[in-house]
Structure formats: structure tokens, C-alpha cells
A and B are shown apart, each in its own frame.
Chain A
Amino acid sequence: MSTIADRLIEDEGLRRGVSRLTPEKIEKVFKELIAGECGARLKTYVESCVRCGMCAKACHYYMSHKDPSYTPVAKVSQTMWRLLAAGGRVEPQVIYECAQVAYTECNLCRRCIHYCPLGIDTGYIISVVRRLCHKLGVTPQYIQDTAHSHSAVLNQMWVKDDEWPDTLQWQEEEAREEFPGLRIPLDVEGADFMYSVIAPEPKFRTQLIYQAAAIFNAAGLNWTMPATPGWDNSNMAMFTGDSEIMSRVERAHYETAQRLRVKRIVMGECGHAFRAVYDVANRWLGWKWHPVPVVHSVEFFWELIQQGRIKITHKYADPVTIHDPCNIIRGRGLMDKLREVTHFLCENVVEMSPNREHNYCCCAGGGVINCGPPFKNVRIVGNSIKAEQLRATGVHTLVAPCHNCHGGLEDIISKFGLGMHTKFLGDLIYELMEKPEAE
């Protein structure tokens, strides 16, 4: 049977990382990690897993390859069990293998929780493996660079302090051509909500900021975007295993909202960012719930529709299907609201199967797409099951309210020739909304 050792991929970050390791160093760091940070969850999961293999069908990698080394339990057996069995004293090459499994062959999508009768959270175990790899300095180059960016400028894309407000002002100016008097209100204290986005928006996808501003403007909302760092809600440090930087980023995000005295944070259409803000970093920072309530765009659009604040001229005519992003469906239960919004906007919605909490992951999430070009093919061929699922819908438009899902799905669509295009809800609302008459 093949194992991770049979499919290693060269990555500068992993290669250089393991070159500095010795079995003694690995053992020391591993033991400190287990003693310092791991408790009853890891112990229970490792002890009580009965190795039944029921989780195999949960994982899109396994369903795509039908190779037993890709099942959730196999990923744990090739990493954590192996390390535990050796007391952490392993050759550096083993850490290379662990890192490749943990960073590029598991999206932390948590679908396997629906398969394991014992409720074992494989995503958590893989996160511990990532934490170890981070502490050993064995992380894929591209995602590590992103974590460096988070540490230096508190955003994912090395966006400097001036580039952010400058970009917003530029988008505001552009949008005023279409919507006279439109504002992107910067740093307005006491606004109803702070809108936060991920750094790829100002860097590559400014259209999304434009669209959000157009929608909020048309809805007559009292909103603001911060002019300071703390505006980026994304968090790749969460996925490299650098909890300290993860939390520094989210502390800035929450404190920015607190400083602006907003009632809520509304987050753009991103899944992993939502996970970081809503479910992960708040805990590390000591807040049980959210110091400022956090609302994902799907839910926010749903609210606006309920309040009659989004007015569309017509419905989207072509049939669409819905991709349920793990981090806001399994991570926040927004499946019904996502459907209500989509049905409000579209004439014909064709469900894919399985869907809702049982959806297959896009295979880009969990930081996998951020590991960059060396691993691109891993996540594309590792998700042929998603391609089959998409093809079976027979539609050409795919609604996916998550950035990483877009990236992953577009790669799959192109590789498998599915002839589809992906849309954010914001794309659809902007396209369909009432706009001022062009002069």
C-alpha cells in the first residue's frame, strides 16, 4: 500500500526546515508540545479510536483517489500516532512527511465528524501536527510567507498601512461614477457595523469592495471600514500552527471594532477568516464568545433581504447551484440562510448532493491553497469527487460565498472542463440590484 512517503513533493520551506532538525530536537519539541498544550481531547481521540475505517468515505481526498492512505484515520496514523509511538524521536524526514500530510492533504473541513461514531475531531489532531511542524520550523514556503506578512503588517498580503485606505478611496471614487454620493466611510466611530475583508480584496479583487460599498450604499446603511491595521480578517497563521501570530491578528481586528464603537463586525464572503474570528482566535485570547458580535456576509445579506433593503430588478435566470463552504456551514450553520438568499436572487436553484452540513470541501481551505504552486495539483486531483458532484448538477453557475472555495473550485472547473463559473452572493446582488439610471 502506498503511503505519504511515496508522494513527497519538493517544497523549499519544508526542505530547509527539516535540514535543521535532528531526532533529539524533534523529540524535545514534541514532548514539550504534548506536555504543554495537549490534554484530554488528544488523549481521548488517540486512545479510543477503534480504527474502524468508517471515516474513509468522509474525505474528498480518499473519495477521489480511493487510496487508503488518504483516509482521515490514515492521515492521523501517518502523523500523530507515528509520533506518539516513537515518543517524538523520529528522523527529520518523518517530519517532512507529517508536514505534507497536515498542510496539504487535510483541509480541516471537519466532514469526518459526521462519520465517526465517537466524534473524533481529526481536524483538531491535524492542527496539533501543524502546530508541531510550526514549532519545528517545517512549514510550506508560501503559507509561511503569508504568516510572516500577518506578523509584520497584520494582513495576509504585505499590504502597507497607506495602501489600504488609498485603495478604499480609489474604489470609492470609482464607485461614485456609477453611484453619485457613494461613500466608503473610513474610521467612523459609532457606526452600526465595521465591514472587514481579507487582504486579497484590496490586493487583487477590489471589485468586491466596490460591490459591497454599492450594496450598503443602496441599502442606506450606517457602516464603516477601519483606516488602520485590524481591517484584515484573514488568518493563515491559524493554519500554519502559529497561534501567537493568529491571535495578534485577531486581537487587532477585535480591538479595532471596539475602538470604533460599532455594534457588530460584518465580514466579507470568506470562510477561513470567519473560522479564525468566530471560532478559534477568540478562545486563544481568552474570550469565550465574541467581544464584538461577528456576522458573515451570507447572514448579513439575509438580514438585508428580510428588511427589504435589497431591491433587485429581476432574478438571475440561468440555473445555479450552491456550494456550502465548510467554515460557515459546518462552522456556523448558515445553510438555510444561504439558500434563502440564493432563492431570492435566482430563478432556478439546483441542489448538489450531498449538500448542507454534508457538503464536500472545495479542497482549497484549511490553508491548502495557500501552500502555493508546489501543491496545486494535490488539491485538484484530490477533489475529482467534487468535480463529479458539480458536473452532475448540469448547471453553469456556481454560487460559493467563500474566497478559498472560489480559488479551489475554479481550479477544479478548469482542470475537469466543467464549463462553470463561480459567483459570490455579492456578485449576484450587485448584478441584479437597482442602480441609478446611467446619464
Chain B
Amino acid sequence: MSFAQSWDFTPGARVVVDDLGKCSREYEWLEEPYVSPDGETVARVAALPDAEFSMAVGGEVWEETFDKIWYPRFSPDGRLTALVQSAGEWTMAVDGQAWETQFGYIWGTLFSESGDVIAAPIQADGQYGLAVDGQPWETLYENANQVLLSRDGKATAAVIQAKSLAQADIETFQQGIFSVAVNGEAWDAVFVNCWNPAFDATASRVAATVRRTLYDYTIAVDGKAWDGAYACAWGPVFNPATGQVAAPVRKAGAWGMAIDDRMAWEPRFAQLWQQAYTPDGGKLAAIAAVKFGEFTVVVDGAPWGVTFPVVTDLTVSPVGGRIAALGNAHNTDFAVLCDGKVWPGRYDMAWPPVWSPDGAHLAVAVERGGRFTVVCDGKAYPQSFDKCFAPAFSPDGTKVLIRAVADNKLHRIVAPVAAFTG
């Protein structure tokens, strides 16, 4: 059962917080509001007198205060996390409870898909790794970055530095000092570089882009590199159904898609990246430049007919094999692309598209002239706000939850898809 099934999806509008500046304690300032996924409350970092910090949640300040606090994020299951420092040591606070283990530093909070697992990269005594629900990896490394937590929360991985490197030691670097660690255990193989590790659907395998020499890029799966050498490669993804690995690779000055080391899409693109499989593994989509400066979405090797100077935020539907993305002209004139068609609206900014669980509807938060609203299936909600957060769909896909700020109040609107008329 997803957390959303417990949310209130009764159609209608409610003001859930009538004063965003409300705070149960005297404060110096309140920072940016973060709204819970269900839209029922708001959290802000509260700077208290005497350089103390805490979180104000719906105006109520956590009991515990800290020397520093940052990166407040709600987990998908509605718990509020923040990174906190006390007496020079850092850790994660979840709903006001700090993890027992403390670290030299902590950052970049990660959540499993359902939100039941919370992880973060940590540094302890100059050693790096991940901590999962407060428990750090048994082995830490000289460096660990590009961290990830699997969707089911069962596994973590990071690119790690397996060997020491003296200052300006280019020789050792080129012999290879990087690897990938999964749940703290490093691959046997080392590479000149490892980038963009990715889990398969069951978090049992990991693929990453690697560089074997300064010029030889390829993909490594569970530490074993493909034979093929490419001029460059971006991050790989697994086909959730077949376990095949797809990665954009560069050959003879153009980009194509390699699947399991074979060219699936011939190298004919000026750019190719952000590929994603539909959950059934039936389709592979990616953002591509069909010519210099002309970007679009390519599905199974075939480009859509419309191009934009910039395309971002490729999103695949949970079911139904539908694909959406955003197009823009140098960060203005944002448009929503859906299944090869362009919605009519143009916006100053648009946020990542959100699919309904049944794949039937698509909603996007947009901004025009400083006013925000949500657009669903190409039609805008008739009301605009000072700020909208990411929309969400009811589990049956028929209603949209709009979380918005207007007049210093947090509004929570549940609107049937039919209510989007603009």
C-alpha cells in the first residue's frame, strides 16, 4: 500500500496552514517552506535566538535544537528529515529524533521509493561511505560519491576511491584507483574513473560508466567491463524486465545507444542521454539532439517530430508505456511534450511531469509571470498561486492534489481531472 492511499482525496480546497510565518517559538528568521507529500503540513528551518536552529513543522518547533540544520526533506512516507549538527558532529534528524550515530558530515539525503528507508552519504574521520537508517557502512573509503539507494531500499552503492593518491600523482591515477562499492563492499576491479552507478530492478546488480584509460570509455556491470571501447559514454540503466543494460555511447563523433555492448541505436545523434525504460521494459526512451542545437525525445531509436533548443525531465508512465518531457528555449518558453505531441501552453518555468498511477493523466507545475499553477493533460487549473509544489494523483488517478502557497497560506486542493479547464 502506498502512502498516498491514506491521504485525503475528498475533492475541495482547504487552507491547511493559515500563516506560514507562524512559529511556536521566538525566531530570527524562517527559511524556505517544504510541504509534506500529502499537503497537510509545512516545514521550515527556524533560526532561533542565540544561534540555535530547529525545524518548525506547521508552526510547531521541534523540541530539540541544533547548532546548524540544513537540507529539510520529507520522505515519501511523510516523515520529515533534516541534517543537523550539535557540538561539531553531524547526523540526520527524522521527525525531530536524531540518529544515534554521529558523523563528521552528512549530506544529500536519499529515500527508498516508499520512503521506509532513509540513507545519506557520510564522512567520518575523513572516511566516506553511506549510512542507512543511521547505520554506516562497515567499510568506509578515502572518498565515496555518486551515491544511490535502490528503489526498494535494500541496497546502497557509491563510486569509491580504492587506493590513495599522492598530490599530483598522475601515474597512479591513470593506473586506476576508483571502483564501485555496493553496501560498502567494493568491486574487485578498479578503473581510471567510475560514474553514474545504477541498480537493476531487484537491486541485485549494479552497472556504471567506467573509463579504462583516459580515452577508453565503457560500461561495467558488477565490476566486469564490456569489451567494447567507446570515445565517451553516459550513465547506464537496466531494462527492468530483461536485465539488459543500455547506455548512450559515442562513436566517430556521434552518439548512439548501446545495449549489452551492441549498438542498438546507430550513432547518429549530436547528443543522447537521460534514457529510461518503461517499467515493463517494452520501450526505451531518451533525450537526443537530432542535429546540433535541436533536441527531442527518441523512443526505441525513432525521434519525435518536434524539436526544442533544450529538452529535459524525461518521465515514463508507471503503466501504459507513455512518455513525457519538457522542452524549452534556453530556460524560457517551457512546453510540455507528451507522447510526441506538444501541449499548447508556454511557461516561464515548468517542473518535472508527474504521471497518474494508471498512466492515464499527466500533471505539471508551471510558472508564468511569477504566478504558479498546475496543468493537467494540457489544461490549467483555473486558479493561480504564489508557488505550487509538485502535484500528486490519487491512487485511482482521477484526482489531482495541488499543494500551493498563496497569501502566506498553505492551500491544499483536491481537484478532479475534469476541473482543469484552462
Closest to A262 in B: B331
- Shortest distance from the beta carbon of A98 to any chain B beta carbon, whole Å: 18
A152 touching B178 by the CB < 8 A rule? yes
Residue of B at shortest CB range from A35?
Answer: B252
Interface residues in A145-204 (C-beta closer than 8 Å to B): 145, 148, 151-153, 160-162, 165-166, 169, 173, 176, 180-181, 183, 185-188, 190
A248 to B309: give the CA distance in the assembly, Å.
Answer: 19
Q: Which stretch from B13-21, B149-157, B168-176, B200-208 is at the chain A interface?
A: B168-176
Residues of A within 8 A of B192 (CB): 151
Given contacts A134-B214, A137-B214, A160-B123, contact A16 B349 (CB under 8 A): no
Task: Say whether, besides A187-B71, A258-B312, A288 and B170 are in contact (CB < 8 Å).
Answer: no
Task: Select one of B29, B47, B51, B293 contacting A288, CB under 8 A.
Answer: B293
Once A160-B145, A244-B217, A293-B331 are accepted as A-B contacts, the answer to whether A227 and B107 lie under 8 Å apart by CB is yes
Q: Report the Cα distance A421→B71, complex, angstroms.
A: 40
Q: Is the CB of B123 within 8 A of A288?
A: no
Whether B214 contacts A242 by the Cβ 8 Å rule is: yes
Q: A181-B28, A258-B312 are in contact. Are A144 and B170 (CB under 8 A)?
A: yes
A39-54 interface bits toward B, Cβ cutoff 8 Å, 1 = contact, 0 = none? 0000000000000000
Using known A-B contacts A152-B193, A227-B108, A293-B330, determine if residue A145 contacts B68 with beta carbons closer than 8 Å. no
- The CA of A190 and the CA of B34, in the complex, are separated in Å by 12
- Contact assessment for B107 and A162 in the assembled complex, using a CB-CB cutoff below 8 Å: yes
A142 contacts chain B at the CB level, 8 A cutoff: yes
B145 is contacted by which of A37, A142, A153, A372 (Cβ under 8 Å)? Answer: A153
Partner of B232, one of A134, A135, A244: A244
* Minimal beta-carbon separation of B330 from chain A (angstroms): 5
B30 CB to closest chain A CB, in angstroms?
A: 11
27 cross-chain CB contacts under 8 A: A12-B170, A37-B253, A144-B170, A148-B170, A148-B173, A152-B143, A152-B178, A153-B143, A160-B123, A161-B107, A162-B106, A162-B121, A162-B128, A165-B105, A176-B51, A181-B28, A183-B31, A186-B70, A244-B231, A247-B232, A258-B312, A261-B351, A263-B349, A286-B292, A290-B331, A292-B331, A293-B330
Which B residues are within 8 Å of any A CB, using their own CB?
Answer: 28-29, 31-32, 47, 51, 68, 70-71, 104-108, 121, 123, 128, 143, 145, 161, 167-171, 173-174, 178, 192-193, 195, 211, 214-215, 217, 231-232, 250, 252-253, 270-271, 273, 289, 292-293, 295, 309-310, 312, 328, 330-331, 348-349, 351, 387
Question: Could you list 20 further interchain pairs (A-B, Cβ under 8 angstroms) beyond the known A181-B29, A291-B330, A291-B331?
Answer: A16-B171, A36-B253, A37-B253, A135-B215, A137-B214, A141-B168, A148-B173, A160-B123, A160-B128, A160-B143, A161-B145, A162-B107, A169-B70, A181-B47, A185-B32, A244-B217, A248-B195, A286-B270, A287-B289, A291-B312
Residues of A within 8 A of B (CB): 12-13, 16, 36-37, 134-135, 137, 141-142, 144-145, 148, 151-153, 160-162, 165-166, 169, 173, 176, 180-181, 183, 185-188, 190, 227-229, 242, 244, 247-248, 251, 258, 261, 263-264, 283, 285-293, 372
In order of increasing CB-CB distance, the 7 nearest A-B pairs are A288-B293, A286-B271, A286-B289, A162-B105, A286-B270, A145-B168, A244-B232
